[in-house]
Amino acid sequence: MTFTMTFAVGSLALVLSGCTSTADKQKTTGSPDCAIQKAVDALEKEPFGAIDLGTPSPFETSNVKRIISDPSAVPALVSAISSDQLVKVGYAAYCLELMQAPNGIKAARLKLQSLQDVGQPDYRRFFARNCLSEYIDAVSKLRQSSGSGSTHAAKNDAGQ
């Protein structure tokens, strides 16, 4: 579990952050461990790859490779999709796509919808929208190729 505490004294502020995690707690709650959570949080600082028509693309940095190698990162990545940090949102969707993890599809659709008509054009918004769209498309194709025409897959696609 990560935490942040802020103490203000006059005009000074002290911010403490850290995490608490034990192996037993990890097994019972299913939450990502501290190192994975920190790696997911650091996605906001990842550099962009090539830029195509004004939209930057993601690429596999060492942090991304570390995250996608650990299946326990999926809950933290799904949670990151709801973030207001758009680079983090994009990279979280990118990681989930590389992991072929359908768990974040509902969150991705909601976030993509919320980013459709918001304010002035912004390369970070374009990046997040592009990554979310590609993740959603990849999950849809994965389901089609695996013959997931079942009711369960249809419910998941509908966000239920």
* 31-157, CATH topology level: 1.25.40
Q: What is the mean pLDDT of the chain?
A: 79
- Return d(Cα 6, Cα 17) in angstroms, integer: 9
* pLDDT exceeds 70 at position 23: no
Number of CB atoms found within 10 A of residue 129's CB: 20
Phi, psi of 14 (to 5 degrees): -115, 125
Dihedral angle computed from the Cα positions of residues 19, 22, 26 and 28, in that order, rounded to the nearest 10 degrees: -130
| DSSP 8-class letter at 118 | -
Per residue in 59-108, pLDDT tens? 999 999 999 999 999 999 999 999 999 999 999 999 999 999 999 999 99
Per residue in 32-50, pLDDT tens? 479 999 999 999 999 998 8
The domain segmentation of the chain, as residue ranges, is 31-157
Tokens of 59: 């690429």
